[in-house]
Chain A
Amino acid sequence: MDHHQDRPDQDRLVSGLRDATIQVLRTMAGREVAYVGLSAMNQFVLKDEACGVVRLRGSVSGLVAISCGLDLAQYLVSCIIGVAIDEIGQEELLDGVSELTNMICGGVKTHLGGGGGVELLPPLAVVGSEYVAQWKTDCDTSVLLFRVDDNTFRVYASV
């Protein structure tokens, strides 16, 4: 597969992720997000303070992830469950980030041709500041950038 030619799968995935992210944050958290744009990395590296990763397996395989700063993650989770930010402990945060990842990626499955050929494995959530996560992959990673209020929210796809 040539990574630099038109890749309808990748394009569909990107537009699917964009719509899914906007929809998930607006319906579940009541937040309006703005899509800023797309960039690419030739590695899959995560280092924001909060991130969630889901593996896709089946007719399409790869990794989809979200990441943002800790403050934003806490804020979003507090909006979703409707409690004050200081009531969001580590447990709520991890579970909230997992579920956000799950919903954003779940929304994308349908965009990937459907037919039930893709399986989502359970999400992995990481919160904290002292780590860099890397996934060995030979395809490029698309990074979608969003603004939520004044913070950055990223969505990654490598399939």
Chain B
Amino acid sequence: MVKLLTIDDSKTIRRVIAGIGAALGYEVLEAEHGAAGLEVLEQHADEVGLILLDWNMPGMNGLEVLKTIKANQNWKHIPVMMVTTEGEREYIIQAIQAGAIHYQTKPFTQEDISARIMEALGQGKGRSGGNVA
């Protein structure tokens, strides 16, 4: 079964995402910082269908985590969506160039993020399918 992985230092956000993911029918794995997220990937890379990644975290920031994921042969196919309060275009450009497939700013509505998750997993109906990064 496809799982989602949320890497965010805020437990609140992890719980919100876990609830939404569950409603969409996906189990959600949680990691509270980048290194923990990479550890989860070591174990579960073949089950993870989408990673939701925060930017500002203690230790590695989200961009560094993203680059690490994209540099790893076993992980680089997993789509990554940034979920962050950083809304400036410079950040978006860096993330998309580093291989993120979507960039969701906080705050978000439940409807918004659910829609983006479905889209990222290629489940949106009538959509253009995967977006080219």
Contacts and interface: CB of A to CB of B under 8 A. Distances in A.
The reply, when asked whether chain A contacts chain B directly with Cβ atoms under 8 A, is yes
Given A81-B16, A92-B12, A99-B12, 19 more contacts: A23-B107, A28-B16, A28-B106, A95-B12, A96-B12, A98-B12, A99-B13, A102-B56, A102-B85, A105-B85, A106-B87, A107-B87, A109-B87, A109-B88, A114-B89, A115-B88, A116-B90, A120-B56, A122-B56
Contact of B12 (A81, A109, A110): A81
Interface in B82-133: 85-91, 106-109, 112
B77 interface: no
A103 B19 contact: no
B88 A110 contact: yes
A109 to B, nearest CB: 7
B106 A103 contact: yes
B58 interface: yes
Given A102-B10, A102-B85, A107 B90 contact: no
A77 B85 CA distance: 18
Interface string A72-114: 0000010011100000000110011011001101110110001
Contacts of B19: 81-82
Contacts of A23: 107
A89 B58 CA distance: 23
A95 B15 CA distance: 11
A124 interface: no
A103 B10 CA distance: 11
Interface footprint category on A: 20 to 34
B11 interface: yes
Contacts of A114: 88-89
Contacts of B106: 28, 102-103, 106
Contacts of A82: 16, 19
A5 interface: no
Contacts of A105: 85
**Ranked 10 nearest A-B pairs via Cβ:** A106-B85, A27-B107, A99-B12, A99-B10, A24-B107, A27-B109, A95-B11, A28-B107, A81-B15, A96-B12
Nearest to A82: B19
A95 B10 contact: yes
12 contacts: A27-B109, A28-B108, A80-B12, A81-B12, A99-B13, A105-B85, A107-B85, A107-B87, A110-B88, A114-B89, A116-B90, A122-B58
